[in-house]
Amino acid sequence: MMIVRDPSRPFAPGVPDLAAFPHAEWRRVLGRLWRRPPLDLMCGIDPLGHPPLRRAIAEHVGRTRAVRCDADQVMVVGGSQQALDLVARVLIEPGDRVLVEDPCYGGLAGVLRAAGAVAEAVPVDADGFDPALAERRCPEARLACVTPSHQFPTGATMPLTRRLALIDWAARRGGWIIEDDYDSDFRHAGQQAASLQGLDRHGRTLYLGTFSKSMFPGLRLGWLVVPPSLVPAFVAARRTADMAPAGLTQAAMAAFMEEGHFGAHLRRMRSLYGKRRRSLLDAAARILGPDLPVTAGEAGLHAILWLPEGSDENAAANAAHAHGLAPTPLGFHRVTKGCPGLILGYGNLAGWDLDDALKRLLSAISPLI
C-alpha cells in the first residue's frame, strides 16, 4: 500500500496548510530575483549549495535548535530523502548493520536496502530510541538513525540521559549518529529540546532537516549539516548523485529567510498548528471515544489513532480512503510487528469540518475493528 499524500483529503500526513502559505511574498522574491538574475545562480553548480542560503540555514538551526555549525558544514539538499541517500553513499558499505528506530520513517528502509545495509530495528518506547538496548542488540553497529526531538511517527522525545548515552556510544565506537530533525520547527508543548547535534562534543552527529513542512513539499529543499571532516566526501557524493541544487530556488529561499518572511511564516503556522492539534485531540476524544485513543507528540503535524490490538490497519486505511480521507497505516513505517494504528495528518485540515471528518473516519473503520 502506498502513502497517498493527496493534499485535498483530510488527514493526509506530511502536508502543511498550503492555503496559509504567504504566496504574495514568495512571488515578490522570485520576481525580484528574475529581474536581474545573477549569472552564478543561472549556472549554480556549487554542490554544497548557494552560500547565502547555507548561511541562513546555519543561523536558523543555530538559533532555534542549538545546532553548532558554520555555513561550510551545511549542504543544501533536495529534501530529507536525498539527505538520507547521501548519508548512505558516504557512510555505508554493503553488509553494514545500521541501527534504526522501530517504527521509523518508511523512506529510510529503501535507502538502507539500496545501500546493501542491514537495518537493525530497535523498538522505541515512551522515551524514543534506547541506546543501551540498541548496543545489546547489535554491538557491531556503527551508524544509528534517530529522530530524538520528535520520534517519527510515535512523537516521543528522547531525554537528555539517552542523548548523552548515544553520543557516548558513537564516540566509543567511532560511529555516526544521523539526527533527522524533520518537523521540529513546529513544537506545541513542553520545552523545546535542543538538538542532539548541539550536545555532541565529539563531532559524531550529522543533522538533517527539511523545508517540506515549514514551506511546502514541492519546493524540494532541505539541509544536511555534517562534521567538517566529512564535507569533501559529501561534496563528491553530491557531484555523482545530481551535481548541485537548483540555483534560483536556493536564492529565493535565502532571500525569504534573510528578509524575515520565513520567520514570520513559522510563527504564524506554529500558532495555527498548535490550535489545530488541540482541536483534533479534543474532537477525537469526544467523537471516537476512549476505545480509539488519539495521541500527538509535542511537535509536528500529525497524530496517531491507535486501533485495538489485532485489528487490520491496512483495511482500516483503505476504508478511510474509500470515505475520502487519507490517513496512513502505522505499519508503513514499522520494521517489525507492533500495535496497529493510523497516522492522522492535521496540517491540511483548514477548510474541513473536523467533526464531520472524524465521524466519517469512525464510520469507515467501525465495521473493521
- The nearer residue to a copy of itself, 160 or 236, going by C-beta atoms, is 236
- The nearer residue to a copy of itself, 160 or 350, going by C-beta atoms, is 350
Q: Determine if 31 is a binding residue for a copy of itself (CB under 8 A).
A: yes
Q: Going edge to edge, which strands form the sheet with 118-123? A: 74-77, 222-225, 205-210, 176-180, 143-146, 97-102, 118-123
The full DSSP string for 304-327 is EEEPPTT--HHHHHHHHHHTT---
Half-sphere exposure of 277 (CA within 13 A, CB side): 22
Which residue of 10, 13, 44, 300 would you call a contact of a copy of itself, by CB under 8 A? Answer: 44
d(CA 207, CA 300): 17
CB 144 within 8 A of CB 175: yes
Whole-number Cα distances in Å, 349 to 32, 128, 356: 33, 27, 11
The end-to-end CA distance of the chain, in Å, is 19
From the CB of 33, what's the least distance to a copy of itself, in Å? 9
- The nearer residue to a copy of itself, 94 or 174, going by C-beta atoms, is 94
**Residue entry with cell 498548535:** 274
113: cell is: 536496502
Q: Determine if 8 is a binding residue for a copy of itself (CB under 8 A).
A: yes
Q: Determine if 220 is a binding residue for a copy of itself (CB under 8 A).
A: yes
Q: Determine if 171 is a binding residue for a copy of itself (CB under 8 A).
A: no
Which of the stretches 218-226, 262-270, 298-306, 317-325 binds a copy of itself when contact is defined by CB under 8 A?
Answer: 218-226
Tell the burial category of 138 from Cβ atoms under 10 Å away from its Cβ (0-12, 13-18, 19+).
middle
Torsions phi, psi of 112, nearest 5? -65, -40
Q: Which amino acid appears at position 18 of this protein?
A: L
Which residue of 85, 120, 180, 298 would you call a contact of a copy of itself, by CB under 8 A? Answer: 85
Tell the burial category of 254 from Cβ atoms under 10 Å away from its Cβ (0-12, 13-18, 19+).
buried
**Of residues 115, 160, 13, 200, the one with CA closest to residue 100:** 115
- The nearer residue to a copy of itself, 119 or 284, going by C-beta atoms, is 119
Q: Determine if 81 is a binding residue for a copy of itself (CB under 8 A).
A: yes
From the CB of 333, what's the least distance to a copy of itself, in Å? 15
Which residue of 64, 151, 249, 328 would you call a contact of a copy of itself, by CB under 8 A? Answer: 249
Which of the stretches 122-130, 232-240, 312-320, 351-359 binds a copy of itself when contact is defined by CB under 8 A?
Answer: 232-240
Which residue of 190, 218, 232, 308 would you call a contact of a copy of itself, by CB under 8 A? Answer: 218
Q: Determine if 180 is a binding residue for a copy of itself (CB under 8 A).
A: no
From the CB of 240, what's the least distance to a copy of itself, in Å? 4
Contact pattern from residue 102 through residue 131 relative to a copy of itself, giving x for each residue in contact according to CB under 8 A and a dash for the rest: -----x--xx--x-----------------
- The nearer residue to a copy of itself, 41 or 272, going by C-beta atoms, is 41
> By the criterion CB under 8 A, which residues form the site for a copy of itself?
5, 7-8, 15, 18, 21, 23, 26-27, 30-31, 34-35, 37, 39-45, 77-79, 81-82, 85, 89, 94, 107, 110-111, 114, 216-220, 236-237, 239-249
